[in-house]
Amino acid sequence: MSTPPPLDRWALSRALTRMANASTAELARSAPCVGPARAAHRIGVTGAPGAGKSTLVGHLALERLANGRLGVLAVDPSSPKSGGAILGDRVRMDDLAGSTELYIRSLGSRRTSDGLADNLPEMLDIMDTFGFDEVVLETVGVGQAEYAVRAQVDTLVLVLLPESGDTVQAMKAGIMEMADIFVVNKSDLPGAQRMATDIQRIAAVTQRAAGAWRAPILLTSSSQPDSIRALSETIDLHRTWRNADPQRRQHLRAQRARYRLRRLLEMHVAEAITAQSDEFFDIPREQQLATVMGAMRMAFDP
Ligand X SMILES: Nc1nc2c(ncn2[C@@H]2O[C@H](COP(=O)(O)OP(=O)(O)OP(=O)(O)O)[C@@H](O)[C@H]2O)c(=O)[nH]1
- The rounded radius of gyration (Å) of the Cα atoms in the chain is 21
Q: Is the Cβ of residue 52 or residue 121 nearer to Mg ion in the bound state?
A: 52
Site stretch for ligand X (CB under 6 A), options 44-52, 96-104, 108-116, 190-198: 44-52
Q: Are strands 181-184 and 217-219 parallel, antiparallel or unpaired?
A: parallel
The answer to whether residue 186 forms part of the interface with ligand X (CB under 6 A) is: yes
Q: Which of residues 19-58 bind Mg ion (CB under 5 A)?
A: 53-54
**DSSP 8-state class, residue 277:** -
Q: Give the span between the Cα atoms of 216 and 199, in whole angstroms.
A: 10
The answer to whether residue 90 forms part of the interface with ligand X (CB under 6 A) is: yes
Of 33, 189, 254, 290, the residue at the interface with ligand X (CB under 6 A) is 189
Q: What is the DSSP string of 93-125?
A: HHHHHT-TTEEEEEEE-TT-SSSSPTTHHHHHH
Q: What is the DSSP string of 117-159?
A: PTTHHHHHHHHHHTT-SEEEEEEE--SHHHHHHHHH-SEEEEE
Length of the chain: 302
Site stretch for ligand X (CB under 6 A), options 86-94, 96-104, 262-270, 276-284: 86-94
3-state SS of 37-82 is HHCCEEEEEEECCCCCHHHHHHHHHHHHHHHCCEEEEEEECCCHHH
The answer to whether residue 106 forms part of the interface with Mg ion (CB under 5 A) is: no
The answer to whether residue 221 forms part of the interface with Mg ion (CB under 5 A) is: no
Minimum distance of Mg ion from residue 138's CB (angstroms) = 6
Q: Which of residues 132-151 bind ligand X (CB under 6 A)?
A: 140
The answer to whether residue 230 forms part of the interface with ligand X (CB under 6 A) is: no
The interface partner of residue 119, options being Mg ion, ligand X, none and the CB cut-off 5 to 8 Å by kind, is none
Nearest to 217 by CA among 236, 201, 240, 205: 201
The answer to whether residue 105 forms part of the interface with ligand X (CB under 6 A) is: no
The answer to whether residue 290 forms part of the interface with ligand X (CB under 6 A) is: no
The answer to whether residue 53 forms part of the interface with ligand X (CB under 6 A) is: yes
The answer to whether residue 221 forms part of the interface with ligand X (CB under 6 A) is: yes
Q: Are the CB atoms for 103 and 87 separated by under 8 Å?
A: no
By rule CB under 6 A, what count of residues binds ligand X? 18
The answer to whether residue 24 forms part of the interface with ligand X (CB under 6 A) is: no
The interface partner of residue 52, options being Mg ion, ligand X, none and the CB cut-off 5 to 8 Å by kind, is ligand X
The answer to whether residue 88 forms part of the interface with ligand X (CB under 6 A) is: yes
Q: Which string of b and e fits 181-192 if b means at least 16 CB within 10 Å?
A: bbbbbbbeeebb
The answer to whether residue 26 forms part of the interface with ligand X (CB under 6 A) is: no
Q: Is the Cβ of residue 24 or residue 139 nearer to Mg ion in the bound state?
A: 139
Distance of CA 92 to the CA centre of its chain: 24
List contacts with Mg ion (CB under 5 A): 53-54
List contacts with ligand X (CB under 6 A): 49-55, 85, 88-90, 140, 185-186, 188-189, 221-222
